[in-house]
Amino acid sequence: MAEQKPRVIAIGEVMAELARGNDGRFGMTCGGDTFNTAVYLARAGVDVAYATALGDDPYSDGMIALAAAEGVKTDLMLRVPGRLPGLYIIETDAKGERRFRYWRGEAPARELFELPDWNRVAESMLGAKLIYFSGVTLSLYTNIGLGRLLAVIEMARQQGAKVAFDGNFRPHGWKGDLPRTRTVFMEALKRVDYALPTFDDEAVLWGDPSPEATVERLQAFGIGEIVVKNGPNSALVAVSGQREHVPVPEVVQAVDTTAAGDSFNAGYLAARLAGDSPASAALAGHSLAAQKVRHRGAIMPRDAGAVH
């Protein structure tokens, strides 16, 4: 049997997404920060699996079917009988800025590392080329779940896996407990190779006055590659002692900024996995994010970026 080529594993939560259309009606799809990135990585040709836990309901079936249709491997999407996935509603204002409301407290994704077969996820992570997760991922788990996740990441790194992390700080997910958030983030940051934070989030959580301050704080954890996203401004790329501002090539009128950072991360990581330089990978991230914000919802249509 041929050895399976090392793959990327993204970890987190996928939820039902209700987004209001121009006619005022809601349409249903699904999304979640690391899931969005996994879909965009798969579209870029990356071998990627998604690790989460779902119910045994039709909505969970639909999420798994969507992942499979997008080329995201579903073998680490565990099922929990009698449970339902989380739900969120997006309201978007005239500028494309969005507001989220969540119903997710009972979602099985929160128990991924405490389910009876969590070791299936752990074993797969040990053979991964790259493990990708976010601050939202960390907000899901109890201290037991976090301990297991971080221990497995530590072992995977010893076996050659790289780790990519997007801080993606959402205060409601942490119930406003900043001291616990910072403690958990610091434990995670000790195990990261690629940091992909958004400056606005870092400013709120850590009080960073500038993207440069974010870079310096993250470098203190020994992180070798840092890309600070800063909305329509330049991304600050810091690798091997060098820093470079990579401007957004074209600032577009946003229809919906949902998943702008998630799509940037996918563009960046796909380019780096293909051997591109960090600066050109940041341009690839900008390009994908610019396509995404022209469309409503977390996951734009497959042909949205196609040249006609």
Alpha helices in 229-273 (DSSP H): 260-273
Are 51 and 77 in contact, with CB atoms under 8 Å apart?
A: yes
How many residues would you count in the chain? 308
49: left (phi over 0), alpha (psi -120 to 50) or beta: beta
Alpha-carbon distances, residue 114 vs 96, 121, 141, 147, 275 (angstroms): 38, 11, 9, 11, 36
CA atoms within 13 A on the CB side of 151: 11
Where does the chain show beta strands of DSSP type E? Answer: 8-11, 15-20, 26-31, 48-54, 77-79, 87-92, 98-103, 130-134, 162-166, 194-195, 225-228, 235-239, 242-246
34-61 exposure pattern, b = at least 16 Cβ within 10 A, e = fewer: bbbbbbbbbbbebbbbbbbbbbeeebbe
Is 262 considered catalytic here? Answer: yes
Chain-centre distance for alpha carbon 19: 20
Coil, strand, or helix at residue 30?
strand
- Which of 33, 166, 208, 262 is an active site residue? 262
Coil, strand, or helix at residue 112?
helix
Chain-centre distance for alpha carbon 265: 7
Mention every residue, 6+ apart, whose C-beta is less than 8 A from residue 82. 55, 56
List residues with catalytic annotation.
262
